[in-house]
Structure formats: C-alpha cells, structure tokens
Amino acid sequence: MTESAPYTDISRLIAPRSVALIGASDRGETFGTRVFRQLCNFGFAGPIYPINPRATELNGRKCYPNLAALPETPDHVGIIVATERVFDVLEECAARGVPFATVYSAGFSEMGTPEGRERQAKLVQFSRRTGVRLMGPNCNGVINYVDAFAMASTAAIAGPRPPAGDIGVVSHSGGFGQISVMWRAMDIGLHISYEASVGNEADLDSLDFARFMLRSDATRVILMAIEGIKDGAKLLALAREAAEREKPIVVLKLGRTASGVRAAASHTGTIAGVDDIYDAAFRQFGMIRVHEANELYETAVLLRTGRWPKGRRAASAAATGGNIVQLADVGDTLGIEWPEYSPETQAKLAEFMPGYGKVSNPTDMTSLATGEPEKFRAALNAIAADPVIDAVTPIFAFLSRKDIEHGAAFVRECVKPAAMLWIGGCYDDRAFGPKDLVAAGVPVYRNALPCLRAVRAAADFGAFVARHRAGSDVPVRPADADADGARRALETLPRKLTEREAKQVLSAYGFPVTRERLARSADEAVAQARNLEGRVALKIDSPDIQHKTEAGAIRLGLQGDDAVRQGYIDVVAAAQRHSPEAKLNGVLVQEMASSGTEMMLGIVRDPVFGPVVAAGLGGIHVEVLRDIAYRIAPVTPDEAGKMLRELRGYKVLEGVRGAKPADMDALVAAIVRLSWLAHDLAGEIAELDVNPLLVFERGAGVKAVDALLVRR
C-alpha cells in the first residue's frame, strides 16, 4: 500500500547547525541568487557555505568549489543545479556523510514524462541506498522562524524577519504554501513557526514535516495544503498524535474536483471518487478540512487558543440587529445551534434591557449596548455563564479603542471558548484594527462565516480529542467475525464468483444473507422452493453473467411447483439467449425477503487508504443522487452511525409515509462487520457490493439479497 518512508527525525534538516548551498549565486535574479540572498538575510546564526565553482566569494562569504572543500560536514545541503547534475552532486553529499539534502531542481516526476518518473525513482533509490534523506525535488525548501533558518526563493520572506509564531504550514506547492497560506496568514496578524514546501516528495513527505511541527513546542496548529498523500496509515498515525497533543491539523486538499477515473467492476468501485475517500478519511481521523487557502489560516485564528467548545451551541450579542440575523443564518448552515437562554440568564439580561420582552439568541442588544461597554460585557458574561452555551461570539461594530480592548479582554477571559466578530473600525485610532488583536493572540474575525466555521472546527476537534481520550476512536472486531472462515470459503471458490458464492463468503464471516440454494435442474428447483416455503426468487447462477436483470435471467415472487418449474426453464433460456457462451452453474432458488428499506453497502480498495467501506440508500439514491457515505475500514459503531446520518436520505430509515423505523442497530452492526471483513480480507477482496441489503423494521435485522465480490 505504501512506498513512503517511515517517520524519521528531521530536526537537523529544519534546524541545521550548518548549511551549504550548491548553486548559490549573486548574479541576476536566478533561483540560486534568490535562495542564497534569503538564506543570508534571514538571520541564520550558524555557518553558511555557498558552493559554486565559478566564484570565490558571494555576498561577502567565502565560496567553495565543492562539498569536499568545506571545513566541516554541513547538516543540510541545498541543491540548485541543472537536472542532469543533481545525481553527481548527491553522490558528493553521500560521500561527505551529509544527513539531509534539499533538491530544488525540477525535471522529475512533475514533468509527467517517463524520463521524469525514472529520475524520481532514481532519487528514491539513492536515498534508500545511501541514507541521505531528501526534501524535494522540485520544491521550495523550509522556512524556520523559530531558529531563524530559511532556504527558499520566495519574496514573501524578504524584509525584516517577523517573530516566530505558533502556526506550522506544510504545502506541496511553493507559491501556495509560502504566499497563499504563510504570507497571507501573517497579513492578518498570525505568526509562523515553520513552513515547508515539500515538492515531489521523493523521500521525505508532507507528513514527515507535519509530524516535526506537531512535536515542536512552538507549533499549536498545523495547516496543510496538499495535493494528496501516499500513505493512509501514516496519516492516521499523525492524526492520532495530533489528538494526543491537542494540536489540530487543518487540511486543504487541492485537486478535489479532479475526476477519479477508476476502472471498477462493482458499483461501489465505480462511484467512489478519489476525493470522497479523502473526505471520509479527514473526517474519521479528526482532521479539519477546508476548501480554500484563506480558510486555513482563518480557522487557525481560533484553533490556536487551544480551547474546544464542548458542543456546537453558540451564543452572541451585538448592538446591530442586521448582523445578528446574518450570524444566525450563517450558523444554521454550519450546524451551529443557537439555544434559548436558560431562565436565569433571561432574568439577568432583562436587567440590562428593561422594557424588552423575551431575549432571544443571538441577542440584539439594540442601542442599549452602544457606548456602554461595561453593560455589554456584563451581559456577555451572563450569556457565557449559561450552561446551555458552549461558545460565545460577540459582535463589535465601530468603537473607541478602549471599548474594543474591553471586548478583547472579554474574549480572552471568557469562561467559554470565545471569538470576537469585529465588523467595523476604531474611530479614535484609525490605524488600530483586527490585525493588532490577532497578533496579540485574540481570536478576532471580520466576517461571520470564517468565525463560525472556526467555532465548528474547534468543537469538532474537541469532540475528536474526547473520543480519542476515551479510546472510542479505535474500532473493535466483532467477537464472532470469522476471518479464517471467510478466507477458507474464498479459497474453495472459483476466481470469478457468482452472487451465491459471494454470499457464502459474507455468511462465513457472520454477515446475514438470504436463505438460498443452487438448483441444477427444474426438479431440484421445485424441491428447494418447497423447502424455503413462501414465494421464491429464481436467478441464473453463472460467473459470466453479472448483470442478471439485464440478461432477463431472473424471476421474482414465484409460488407453486408449476410456476417454479416454468421459472427455471425461462431463466435458463434467457441466460442462454443473452450469453450463449456463458458457463451456467444452474439457478439460484432464493427466499423472497419480506419488504424492507433497500440499502447498498460496499467495499472498495483505495490505493492510499486501503479498504474503504461505503453505505447508501439503494437505487436512485446511489445511482442518481450519489448519496453515499464512506469510511476507511474498519469503523466503530459510532462512525457507522455517523455515516448513516450523513446521508441526505437518512429520514427514509427513520420511517416516512407511515413506514416503521428501520432496524438501525442491525444496520450499524452490518456496516461495522463489513468494514472488518474489508480489513481482514484486504489481501483477497478488491471490491464488494451488497446491493440491496434489506433493512427490516426495528428488531427484525438486515439481510443481504444480492452481492458481487471481486477478488484482488
């Protein structure tokens, strides 16, 4: 599943004691000139060794012809040379015993050519062979504000170096990580601990850098802008550590709408998009997913306070009515609740708003709050103390500096996690703005959407941390799940499985399926139908006919010997007409399950995350509306329940048009069991559809009616 390297300590890459730059220059505005200039100007305290055979001095520093000529072995070597020279230079690094090198040069897998991919593979082999750990190629290096070390070309770090902060940034793209995320984050008042633009990840990948940042005391939030990852298990390990340390990871995955072209035989496999799986993984692993660069740092403004609301119940107050209504609107779309205040809080607020009736949440304090900061703060404290409230987001408009600072003090000292929504300006100090407060550590937002998105993210992360502390994020295999039995069943079966054989595997694993038997003649069919009692379904049993309905080789609801006999003849005839060459095992005689809600469950293998479990309501919901939830297998019952509640059609399971509620417990158990099957038989099963799974009314369980299993 993975070709990525295990985690390693990369401290000396990010904070080297000494550094060399091969390809340093001071002429023109070449890449080598820019990186060397930034390296010198950023304030690095250790020795910097420029290497360039055409110079003896650069920027007033002695320049060396090659690595061998250096007085010491640098911890980290930057490489900016023509593509074809990269390997020679790397061999010099290996010979000199250099532990870390960053290859800025391009011309590798990003070219999309066989030659480029071959070069990249050669880099991987080089690293594995020599032990020299590599950043890049085609990357833009690291920026380390904590130790004042930067080896990157970006103009975003020109000028005086800002202080180190608590935000770590990891990106594949240089311009994206350094400008769209890092520089823009600083532009709103945040400060950065480390930035890494990892490029093609021949050796060290984005997760290695994220883990370094996670483990540094400086970093409190990690922002990742990635095009993908190589190893799902490595991501899960990182996410668990993030929960352990209570440091949230906010992730922007670029390329989300790129269609995941997947050659698949099963329904689940055909429908599951690459991005659907990433989305499921981020959700399941407690990572906060956003969709544009600005959302990364905006979310960090609150997250870095390290305070997690216990739930999604927010409150707010303002002297401006329109903004209160908008806040409520935006919150509703984000799943933020605005509970009614408790009677005690109502009573306290009534003191501040005499003559008004019931005080609603969010609260329009009307002009009563204007020019009376003490009163406003007292009202906010009353709201924050209410046990039905988890987070407070007061709105401030156009105020004096004193009043704004009053508000900031409230946010900082509030008994509940709080963020300030400051929509206006400061009328007695026009230069004073949100950036000043953010720089001082106060969570301040300009607009309702990023503010409440951050509240939601903080609550979600808090919930994940709580689950992690309780150990309830770890799936537990059902006691009676018989992996060996299922594997043995699979071993005895042919390569291409029929419905009946797929269900034998499911059944061996303890998954409920319809009662059925194969009939090899009309007589056998009649006998088996009698045996099953009630109406039966007849389906052709052939490894060569997967779409039995399209072949017309299916008959439903038959009763009585004559009907069954004729059904057998018809089904076989239809199959022969449809596929004259098909091998026919016979006809499957199956009980007609009583009516229930149709679901589709499935397994698909993702190249990054391995086995994935899918669930959706059957038919149109899956095929037209693409209303499907995914999780990386295995899952906990809690996650399985969340999958169901994510479905737009969830209400169908609760019972509509007078239908009784479906057996949710049995359905959850089925998803959990299927996810363990996916996990346990990951080596054997590529794809699996259970479609339909019938879910009966509460207490009556579930049953797989049809199944399609594709081996790896």
Segment contacting its own copies (CB under 8 A): 121-129, 261-269, 420-428, 567-575? 420-428
Asked whether the beta carbons of 618 and 652 are under 8 A apart, the reply is no
Segment contacting its own copies (CB under 8 A): 61-69, 172-180, 502-510, 559-567? 172-180
Interface with its own copies, residue 17, by CB under 8 A: no
Shortest gap between Cβ of 154 and its own copies (angstroms)? 7
* Binders in 104-123 for its own copies, by CB under 8 A: 106, 112
Shortest gap between Cβ of 326 and its own copies (angstroms)? 5
Q: Which of 292, 484, 523, 562 binds its own copies (CB under 8 A)?
A: 292
- Distance from the Cα of residue 505 to its chain's centroid: 31
How far apart, in Å, are the Cα atoms of 4 and each of 202, 206, 548? Answer: 8, 11, 42
* Binders in 348-367 for its own copies, by CB under 8 A: 357, 366-367
* Binders in 435-464 for its own copies, by CB under 8 A: 446-449
Burial class (CB in 10 A: 0-12, 13-18, 19+), 59: middle
Any idea which residue has 């057998």 for tokens?
Answer: 568
Shortest gap between Cβ of 428 and its own copies (angstroms)? 9
Asked whether the beta carbons of 118 and 144 are under 8 A apart, the reply is no
Interface with its own copies, residue 432, by CB under 8 A: no
Q: Which of 131, 415, 656, 661 binds its own copies (CB under 8 A)?
A: 656
* Binders in 293-312 for its own copies, by CB under 8 A: 293-294
Interface with its own copies, residue 657, by CB under 8 A: yes
* Binders in 500-529 for its own copies, by CB under 8 A: none
Shortest gap between Cβ of 685 and its own copies (angstroms)? 26
Interface with its own copies, residue 658, by CB under 8 A: yes
Segment contacting its own copies (CB under 8 A): 82-90, 173-181, 265-273, 522-530? 173-181
Q: Which of 306, 311, 339, 424 binds its own copies (CB under 8 A)?
A: 424
SS3 sequence of 299-331: HHHHHCCCCCCCCCEEECEECCHHHHHHHHHHH
Closer Cβ to its own copies, 53 or 335, answer by number: 335
With left for phi above 0 and alpha for psi between -120 and 50, is residue 219 left, alpha or beta?
beta
Shortest gap between Cβ of 269 and its own copies (angstroms)? 18
In order, the DSSP letters of 69-120 are GSSS--SEEEE---GGGHHHHHHHHHHHT-SEEEE----SGGG-SHHHHHHH
Segment contacting its own copies (CB under 8 A): 121-129, 255-263, 306-314, 491-499? 255-263
Phi, psi of 499 (to 5 degrees): -50, -50
Interface with its own copies, residue 262, by CB under 8 A: no
Asked whether the beta carbons of 174 and 143 are under 8 A apart, the reply is no
Q: In whole angstroms, give the CA distance from residue 145 to residue 159.
A: 14
Interface with its own copies, residue 183, by CB under 8 A: yes
Shortest gap between Cβ of 31 and its own copies (angstroms)? 7
With left for phi above 0 and alpha for psi between -120 and 50, is residue 701 left, alpha or beta?
left
Segment contacting its own copies (CB under 8 A): 417-425, 436-444, 492-500, 511-519? 417-425
Closer Cβ to its own copies, 427 or 556, answer by number: 427
Cα Rg for the chain, rounded, in angstroms?
31
Q: Which of 70, 522, 582, 625 binds its own copies (CB under 8 A)?
A: 625
Q: Are strands 19-22 and 76-79 parallel, antiparallel or unpaired?
A: parallel
560-599 footprint of its own copies as x/- string (CB under 8 A): ----------------------------------------
Interface with its own copies, residue 46, by CB under 8 A: no
Closer Cβ to its own copies, 452 or 685, answer by number: 452
Shortest gap between Cβ of 328 and its own copies (angstroms)? 7
Taking each helix axis as running N to C, give the angle between helix 664-680 and helix 637-646, from 0 to 180 degrees, rounded to the nearest 10.
Answer: 110
* Binders in 390-409 for its own copies, by CB under 8 A: 397-398
Q: In whole angstroms, give the CA distance from residue 183 to residue 206.
A: 19
Q: Are strands 288-290 and 192-197 parallel, antiparallel or unpaired?
A: unpaired
Q: In whole angstroms, give the CA distance from residue 33 to residue 55.
A: 13
Q: Give the DSSP H/E element, type plus range, for residue 685.
A: strand 685-695
Interface with its own copies, residue 66, by CB under 8 A: no
Helix, strand, coil percentages, rounded to 5, for the chain: 40, 20, 40
Interface with its own copies, residue 225, by CB under 8 A: yes
Segment contacting its own copies (CB under 8 A): 59-67, 115-123, 183-191, 300-308? 183-191
**Two structure tokens written together for 522:** 């009309």
Interface with its own copies, residue 339, by CB under 8 A: no
* Binders in 185-224 for its own copies, by CB under 8 A: 187
Q: Are strands 586-591 and 536-541 parallel, antiparallel or unpaired?
A: antiparallel
Closer Cβ to its own copies, 163 or 683, answer by number: 163
Shortest gap between Cβ of 391 and its own copies (angstroms)? 19
Q: Which of 492, 624, 683, 699 binds its own copies (CB under 8 A)?
A: 624
Give the SS3 label for residue 523. helix
Shortest gap between Cβ of 175 and its own copies (angstroms)? 3
Asked whether the beta carbons of 241 and 47 are under 8 A apart, the reply is no
Q: Which of 241, 544, 570, 623 binds its own copies (CB under 8 A)?
A: 623
Interface with its own copies, residue 552, by CB under 8 A: no
Segment contacting its own copies (CB under 8 A): 48-56, 128-136, 324-332, 681-689? 324-332
Interface with its own copies, residue 347, by CB under 8 A: no
Q: Which of 68, 95, 155, 474 binds its own copies (CB under 8 A)?
A: 155
* Binders in 631-650 for its own copies, by CB under 8 A: 648-649
Q: In whole angstroms, give the CA distance from residue 167 to residue 164.
A: 9
In DSSP terms, 540 is beta-bridged to 587
- Determine the size of the site formed for its own copies (CB under 8 A): 73
Q: Which of 38, 127, 299, 326 binds its own copies (CB under 8 A)?
A: 326
SS3 sequence of 574-609: HHHHHCCCCCCCEEEEEECCCCCEEEEEEEEEECCC
Q: In whole angstroms, give the CA distance from residue 91 to residue 126.
A: 8
Interface with its own copies, residue 340, by CB under 8 A: no
Q: In whole angstroms, give the CA distance from residue 347 to residue 349.
A: 5
